[in-house]
Structure 1
């Protein structure tokens, strides 16, 4: 599962480039970087006739009395809510890491070792006239399992274009095991003493 993630430009040229493109397209102040929570507006990467570029979308598919922020990668193509998005409305959620809590409510931040940016596979749709996205999750791999049984479907940088532009490759990604991640306590980062 993924309920929060980080999107900041400090020391990450890839993320800074996305922020600059969003500011150019939407104007400075159109959204707020930092810890991204459900319902927040944030950049996602999409493929259009203009190529791969960032768009601002709201996190979560709004349903009557519910907000769907994640979709199971293993079953998304079979679910009526996600079927069309899997076929032609795939996105990538750029981040500088995501957060998860263990059973004792301890918060951890996960990153790709040696990488400043972390990319998550996602889907998007237009609901109530507004574009929105959800993050695909899959079974936790060895690096995540002791904290949570689900994790985002993490893509390496070279998998972004195939995920967005090649339906057959995208179908294969839905069943892959994500790369191993590094974990750091986010609680310790927030404590002063």
Structure 2
């Protein structure tokens, strides 16, 4: 699962390299933790070239409160809520890292071992208040499984355009096992007084 992620200056620079046609003023003030319902930078293929856009995280649920922030890669093509979006409106959510919480409710940070930016696969749809995205999740690999049984579907930088533009790549990507991630954990210092 993915319930919070982080965008840093390095991620912003990488997004600017991948989507160079985006206006430079767009990047100002986009760093920090991203929570569900907040806006984040997303790479899309609405044109012939990759572009970065701001979208809200989470699909509104019909007749229920709350948001759907993740979708399972294994069943996304079977779900009416997601089927059309994942076929026609794929996107990439770049992040420097994402967070999970272990059984003791300690925050664990996951980041790339071989690439500084995590390219999380997702898709989007238009709602009354604009475009919203969902992050795809898959079964956790060996580096994440001790903390959580799900993780974002993370693609390599070289797979970004294929995910967004190549319909034949969809089936392969939905079954992909993401590369191992680096794990770090913050521990709260206990005091005597």
Q: Normalising to structure 2: TM-score of the pair?
A: 0.88
Give every structure 1 segment of 4 or more consecutive aligned residues whose post-TM-superposition deviation is greater than 3 Å. 10-13, 15-29, 190-193
Give unpaired runs (5+ residues) of structure 1.
Answer: none
1:173 aligned residue: 173
Alignment CA distance shift 1:55-1:65 (3 Å): same
Alignment CA distance shift 1:119-1:20 (3 Å): same
SS in 1 for 2:161: helix
Tell me the number of residue pairs that the alignment of Structure 1 and Structure 2 aligns.
Answer: 189
Alignment CA distance shift 1:34-1:192 (3 Å): farther
Alignment CA distance shift 1:174-1:57 (3 Å): same
Q: Normalising to structure 1: TM-score of the pair?
A: 0.88
1:60 aligned residue: 58
1:47 aligned residue: 45
Q: Report the RMSD for the aligned CA atoms in angstroms.
A: 2.5
Give the alignment of 1:76-115 within 5 angstroms.
Answer: 76-115=76-115
> Does the Cα contact within 8 Å between 2:19 and 2:50 map onto a contact in 1?
no
- Residue 109 of structure 1 deviates from its aligned partner by 0.8
SS in 2 for 1:168: helix
> Does the Cα contact within 8 Å between 1:12 and 1:117 map onto a contact in 2?
no
- Residue 112 of structure 1 deviates from its aligned partner by 1.3
**Could you give the per-residue CA deviations for residues 133-161 of structure 1, whole angstroms, max 9, x where no partner exists?**
01000000101000000000001101101
Give unpaired runs (5+ residues) of structure 2.
Answer: none
